[in-house]
Each structure stands twice: as structure tokens, then as C-alpha cells.
Amino acid sequence: MSRNLNAKIVIIGSGISGIAAADRLVKAGYNHVRILEATSRSGGRIKTGKLGDSIVEIGANWIHGPSEENPIFCLARKYGLLDPEALTPENQAIDIGGHPPWTSNVFSSSGQKLNVEDYSPALEMFAELLNESAEFQNQKGEPCASVGDFIRAEVKQKAAEKWKDVDPATRSLQLCVISNMLKVECCVNGSHSMDEVGLGAFGQYKTLPGLDCTFPRGYEGLIKNLMSELPDGLVTYNRPVRCVHWNNALKGENPVTVQCDDGEKIVADHVIVTVPLGYLKKHHSTLFQPPLPLHKLHSIHRLGFGTNNKIFVEFDEPWWDPDCEVIYLVWEDEESMVDQVPDVQRSWIKKLFGFTVLKPTERYGHLLCGWIAGHESEYMETLSEQDVTHDVTQLVRRFTGNPTITPRRTLRSQWFHDIWTCGSYSHIGKGCSEQDLDNMMEPLPPKGSQSQPLQVLFAGEATHPCYFSTVHGALLTGLREADRLISHYSSVNPSKLPMSKL
Ligand code: 6YU
């Protein structure tokens, strides 16, 4: 195939995956590349905001696994966006397996601050079972359909052996801690419940070494730097795409036509679709003409895409220890190991697992980030700021036993009601396998078709086989699809293009 630098390439979405694809193509010499973005900004789920004087992340928070293999870490380092500690070889070498060893404070619903020995047996058991949950990959079968079912069954069995001589109150508390841990995992996975996270392919997600770090001046700094390297005018903002008409060449026209909401029709040789899985789930039937092939549709349905929201809460004084990095809130009536609340409207707040502490204090003051996943989180989005603040205040007063604590201000994210995202990020759904992730990234027309190849390509976090749900995963998918086109047209091996050129 001859190199065709005049190929018309349209990228839908200006999140990190779309930007990475554009950057790679432009630097490879393609001169008809454009991005159509529905909103007025680039970055998508990378979104930095402010609460008072503090910079806060509404979307992505950390670089997961900041080390040499992580392209986000390499770019952030190149642009000088990280604190010096994050750059040290020691920091890069720490292998935490996705769960940073944070110093915790644990409070119970009767207003007690628990001692480590009160809750550590449950934490240890949970961590062990979570590791085991990732080991059914490539095995002949798994004992249960979901991670939630597996953990509950195993805890019951192990508790009967290990905690048989423990007094009932202590034993019940351990089970309540397990409920809290399940809620934490709902946030990590972006799922409503761990009962909806598939066990068989749970081990598909891979972590990188490095202790998770943040961007002291905001994650969006990365987007600004990347955008400054792209030609002016490459992104058209406020231009939602309504429909991608593919296989047009059969009618003697250009292979693809992109129809925008405002009626404009843009012809292209290739379209790279980077819209979130949540958006795809909701709009696939109108977004593609002809419709997506059945195997791709089934994978879109099987993969999970849930909501994880943040509620930032600022206080005048800390009510946690100076070294505390995470606060867990344990409900003492949850010994049945639940991660869903029975009555969402009345008790949505029980789903909030607790808070991470924004550090260092000199930068953020006394600022916490609350985490809440699932349908309870989606309901929270419908409440007024005042109602959310009221419920969070009552929660903190109850768990600390201090009826006077009052937040100075709050701010929450609303990812489910963001019409261009429809949730937060993807996870392995029940019944999912590696094949589903392969199907997600398969271009159109599918293999074996006689029509013009690579008309529609798919990037975005939900199309990465093992780094789905992350910023680095999303970036790598953009590069992958750009490279697919480059190698389609060129004899030059795209892997020879240095990463530093990005
Ligand atoms: C990470 C983190 N992080 C917290 C929260 C969220 C996410 N992630 P984009 O959506 O960015 O871009 C698509 C664009 O398309 C967008 O601009 C749209 O407007 C546009 N669009 C849509 N429809 C369109 C149309 N019709 N026409 C035109 N344009 C259209 N990742 O690395 N660290 O700390 C977090 C977190 C609250 C919401 C995160 C984190 C996820 C990333 O933000 C996300 O993957 C990428 O930004 C997506 O980029 P993109 O380009 O694909 O889409 C075992 C096991 C466990 C598995 N999971 C463990 C990992 C945990 C992940 N953790 C995340 C945690 C947090 C806290």
C-alpha cells in the first residue's frame, strides 16, 4: 500500500486518546487530520477545577503506576508537571499492585475511631481475596460469576475457620469492614456493585510499578501541553457528531461521511471514534449507519461502564490524624457484606466509602475527597449542592461523634449526567472475556470483508486490553489506531517513531 499523506482522517472526541492519535498522525506527516469535539474544551474525563484556592480534579486523579513504561508519566516528566518525589527511582520502583499502601483512619457509625487491630484482620483477608480474584484468567472455569459473589463466599468460609473463637461483636465488625472494602472496590472499578464485575476476566487488568502520583498544578496541564504541539484549528469545538455513515464506497462515494448535529456532512477516508463506552452503549444505534456488527454490539453490552463520583469537602480544622491519607467509614449494620444500599433515596450516602486526604496540607488546607460509586452516586447527582452538603455534614458528625463539625465548602462531580460521557469508566462485566476487549478495538469493516479496509477505527480507554479505565490506557489506544493507519499506508515501521516525539 502506498503512503498517502493526503488521506482524510476525522477523529471523534478530544480526550487524551483522540489527542494522542492526532499528534501521532500529524507528526507522521498526515496533513488532513481533524478532531470533532462535542464540548467547548479538550481533555474529556481529564478535567481540573477549583474549590476556593485549591486545584481539584473533577475527573482523573492519579497517574496509576508512574514509571518508565507509563507514557503519561514520561510526558508529565518531560513537561515538568510532577513533584520531585514522583520522579525518584524509589518512587518508580514501588510495586503496589494497584492499591497504594495508604495510612488509614477508620471510623464507625456509632462515632468511634477504631484501632488498627480492630479492623486489620478484615483488611488483610480482603486484600488476599482480591488478589485471588485476579487469578482465574486463563483457567478452565471460575467458581462464581462475579468478584462480589466470590469474595462473599470465601469470607464466609474463612471467617468460619479463622474467626471461630472471636467474640460475636468483633466478628460482626470484621464483616462490616468487608462491606466497606467492597464499596471501595466499586469506586476503583467504576461499578455499581462488585456483583456486576466478572470474575473470569478480572485479572485482565494490569498494573504498572510506581507509587500513584498527582499533578500539583492539575491534570489538565498535560492536555494544555499536548495541545500546544498540535496545529492551530485542528480541533473543531462544540461540534457533536450524530452519525458515522460507513461503507459509502459501495454507493460510489467517499468511504465514510460524518454527519454532525448541526447538519454538516464531512467526508473522510478514515474515522477514529474515541467516544466513551457509556456514550456508545446509549447511542450506538444512531451513531453508526449501517449498524455495528453483532459481535461488537454484544461486547459493548457485556463490558461494564459505571459511575464513580467525587465529593470534595473542605474543613477549617482536620478531624483526622496528621499522617492519615485515607478515611474509611464503616456502618455497623452491614455485616451481610453489602455494597448496595436498600433505599437509594433515603440512604444513598451509605454508599460513600470514605475520603482520601489531599496532601500536602500546605497546598490544600484541610481538604478531603469523598468517593461514591454506583446508582447511589447517580442519584446523588440529581440532588442540589445544599442537599449533598447537608447529608455529608450529618455523615461526618455521626462518624466522628462531633455534632458541631461543619464543612467550609463542597464540590461534587456529576459524570453520569454528563451527556457526552454517561458515567465514569469501564470495567469487566459478568461473562466478559479477553475477546470482548479485542472486539471493542476491531476496526470496521470487520475482518474478511471485501470493502475498503479501516474505514472506522476505535480508540478510547474501553478499547485497551489491559489498561482500560486509565489515562495511560486511553493514550495508548490513540497511538495504536494512529499506528494502524500509518502502517496501512506506509512501509515505515511506526514503532520506529520515538515516543519522545509525542
Ligand atoms: C487514571 C485516575 N480516575 C476518576 C473519574 C473519572 C475517570 N480515570 P474521554 O472521555 O476523555 O474523551 C472522549 C471525548 O469524546 C470527550 O471529550 C467527549 O466530549 C467527546 N465526545 C463524546 N461524544 C461525542 C460526539 N458524539 N461527538 C463528538 N465528541 C464526542 N484514570 O489513569 N487515573 O486517577 C482516574 C478517574 C471520576 C471520570 C477517571 C482515571 C479514567 C480516565 O479519566 C479515562 O480513562 C480517560 O481520561 C479517558 O480518555 P478517553 O480519551 O478514552 O475518553 C483490578 C482492577 C481494576 C480496574 N480499574 C483500576 C483502575 C482504576 C481506574 N481509576 C480511576 C480512578 C480515578 C479516580
Which residue's CA is the nearest one to ligand 1's atom 38? 424
Pairing between β-strand 326-330 and β-strand 104-108 as defined by DSSP bridges: parallel
Say if ligand 1 is within 6 A of residue 91 CB. Answer: no
Return the DSSP state at 200: T
Confirm or reject: Cβ of 37 under 6 Å from ligand 1.
yes
Cβ–ligand 1 contact at 470 (below 6 Å): yes
Whether residue 241 has its Cβ less than 6 Å from ligand 1: yes
pLDDT of residue 494: 52
Strand positions, DSSP E, 183-246: 235-236, 241-245
Alpha carbon distance 263, 112 (integer Å): 60
Nearest-CA residue for ligand 1 atom 15 is 13
Q: Per residue in 163-187, is it b (16+ CB within 10 Å) or e — as a string?
A: beeeeeeebebbbbbbbbbbbbbbb
**Which part of the chain has CATH 3.90.660.10?**
99-206+308-412
Ligand 1 neighbour 205 (Cβ under 6 A): yes
Q: What is the pTM of this model?
A: 0.96
Whose Cα sits closest to atom 54 in ligand 1? Answer: 205
CA 473 / ligand 1 centre spacing (Å): 10
Q: Would the CA dihedral through 453, 456, 459, 465 be positive or negative?
A: negative
The residue to mutate among 191, 413, 470, 481, having the most atoms of ligand 1 within 8 angstroms of its beta carbon, is: 470
Cα gap 439→453, rounded to integer Å: 16
Letter for the amino acid at 150? F
Q: Residue 106 carries which side chain, given as an amino acid letter?
A: V
Beta bridge partners of 371: 310, 354
Could you tell me the end-to-end alpha-carbon distance of the chain, in angstroms, rounded to an integer? 25
Distance 73 CA to ligand 1 centre (A): 17
- The reply to whether ligand 1 has any atom less than 6 angstroms from the CB of 306 is no
d(CA 300, CA 431): 12
CATH 3.50.50.60 residue ranges for the chain: 8-45+216-304+428-501
What pLDDT is recorded for position 491? Answer: 57
Q: Which long-range contacts (CB under 8 A, 24 or more apart) does 486-490 make?
A: 486/24, 486/25, 486/28, 488/1, 488/453, 488/454, 489/1, 489/2, 489/3, 489/4, 489/5, 489/7, 490/1, 490/3, 490/28
Q: Which position has the grid cell 468483633?
A: 170
Domain 99-206+308-412 architecture: Alpha-Beta Complex (3.90)
Ligand 1 pocket residue status of 421, Cβ below 6 Å: yes
User: Rounded to whole angstroms, how far apart are CA atoms 174 and 180?
Assistant: 10
**Which three cell numbers mark 93?**
520502583
Query: Ligand 1 center to residue 163 CA distance, Å?
Result: 41
DSSP state of 230: S
* Site of grid cell 477508620: 106
DSSP class of residue 252? T
Q: Is 471 in the pocket of ligand 1 (CB under 6 A)?
A: yes
Closest residue by CA, ligand 1 atom 56: 189
Question: Cα torsion for 59, 61, 66, 70, to the nearest 10°?
Answer: 0
The CATH number of 8-45+216-304+428-501 is which of 3.40.630.30, 3.40.50.300, 3.50.50.60, 3.30.460.90?
3.50.50.60
Q: Is the CB of 102 under 6 A from ligand 1?
A: no
Supply the pLDDT for residue 410.
Answer: 98
Separation of CA 76 and ligand 1 centre (Å): 17
Q: Which one-letter amino acid corresponds to residue 499?
A: M
The minimum-distance atom of ligand 1 relative to the CA of 203 is 54
**pLDDT value of residue 448:** 86
Run means of pLDDT, 10 residues per run, the chain, 502 residues:
82 99 98 98 98 97 97 98 97 86 96 95 96 89 96 96 92 97 98 98 96 97 98 98 91 88 96 98 98 98 98 98 98 97 97 98 97 98 98 98 98 98 98 96 93 96 98 98 95 50 48
